[in-house]
Amino acid sequence: MATEFFVPQLGQTVEEVTLVKWLVKDGDKVDFGQEVMEVETDKAVFPVEANGKGVIHLGPYKEGDVIPVLTVVAIIGSAEDHFEARAAAGKSKSAAPAVEESPAAQTRAAIAPSTTPAQQQKRFASPRARKLAAKEGLDLSLVTPSGGGGVRVKERDVIAHLQQVPKATPLAQRAAQEAGINLQGVLGSGPGGRITKNDIARALEARPAAPSTAALPEDEVSERIPLKGVRAVIAERMAMSVHTTAGVTLITEVDASEFVELREGLKSSLGERWGFSPAYNDLLAKIVASALRKFPYMNARLAGDAIEHLAQVNIGIAVDTERGLMVPVIRDADRKSLRVFGSEFRQLVERARNGRSLPEDLSGGTFTITNLGVYEIDAFTPVINLPELAILGVGRIHPKPVVRNNAVAIRQMLTLSLVFDHRLVDGAPAARFLQYIKQVIEEPYLLLFE
């Protein structure tokens, strides 16, 4: 009997993959553990190994196709077997089980326009997305899909949509629907900011005439690059972060002279013995890990209507690769020695730049550091890496004249930018967290007494 070869579950949050290439041809003989195809998730490229021995018969999937996980893409058996399309392995075609509607379900149902059964069938969605939409009474046709090249709704799309649904009276909902007005752009004047019918009327009066648009002539476009793969995922996540967080930036200048001396001393004394020289990112990560233990409210995330303080300190450090921005995560960073941290981080970076990261390499972070100092950037405003609470931007270290003890001196200065979600923490507590990081960079020996 032929063995079904399917796309494996590459991480808890991965719902679909892109087929990069087949490593075998239809009708080839394969053995257990042989690499058969390469697939790309939102994080990296992974080889998929054969789960059987015999002749492989490929399904109708080609390079660039987006395929849900657990989909049977080939069979491995005898030369006489042939591939037949099947549903995703382990997936049930039955309707989602009945779930209790939330109190907001009727409100969203009032906003939703009527849709025909045909329209409903054209909206592809993951099982988790359908379950959440059913629970919330949400019409999936209202949700902007991000999966499958923009045709398949994912759970995160439903969550983003639910977070954006404004409060409005039933009359306002009906008036907005009839006028074709998006409630997102209407300022509510009712109790608690609720949108009223009068608000819709004012929005209708203020609506400008649609401007005429003209397509850019073809000869003025030098290159057209499809927004897909890792770049599409980055675009989606950055937009979601900007639109769903209340991001605030704190900027401080740090005297990093002692920090630079510490790093140079470690480099000369430990570089040969360790096999690598401790870098600024290694030292910064250890300082930030210490700060997260001292100020646990910064090591948190928003989960529904609750703020969760996290038990582990998992530091992600942004890395530039040919495939785009990757964020390898070092788990329990506060408990690792500098040597173990640096060694583990370099292994993660090597895998990321070779496109061989494992799912766990790039997930589970609780705080991210991004350093653009190598590009001579002084300060910038990074985007929070959801679902984390904050991200630290690090600029270049460079000599600068500053006033010390009523005299001008040349010091090695560094600018730090902390972006945090104001929904979860206020400015003063976030400032104390950043102030501690600044203090330890200026006096690194303080780490010895933590």
Q: Which residues are catalytic?
A: 422
**Beta strand ranges found along 256-366 (DSSP E):** 300-303, 306-309, 315-317, 319-321, 324-326, 329-330
Q: Which two tokens stand for residue 133?
A: 């939409």
Say how far apart CA 90 and CA 103 lie, in whole Å: 33
Write the CB contacts of 335 (distance below 8 Å, at least 6 apart in sequence): 313
Say how far apart CA 288 and CA 266 lie, in whole Å: 19
**Strands of 315-317's sheet in order across:** 247-255, 407-421, 390-404, 367-371, 315-317, 329-330
Backbone angles phi, psi at 402, to 5 degrees: -135, 160
Number of alpha carbons in the 13 Å side-chain half-sphere of residue 323:
20
- Examine residue 387 and say whether the peptide bond preceding it is cis (omega within 30 degrees of 0): yes
Instruction: Tell me which H or E stretch contains 403.
Output: strand 390-404
Say how far apart CA 377 and CA 233 lie, in whole Å: 25
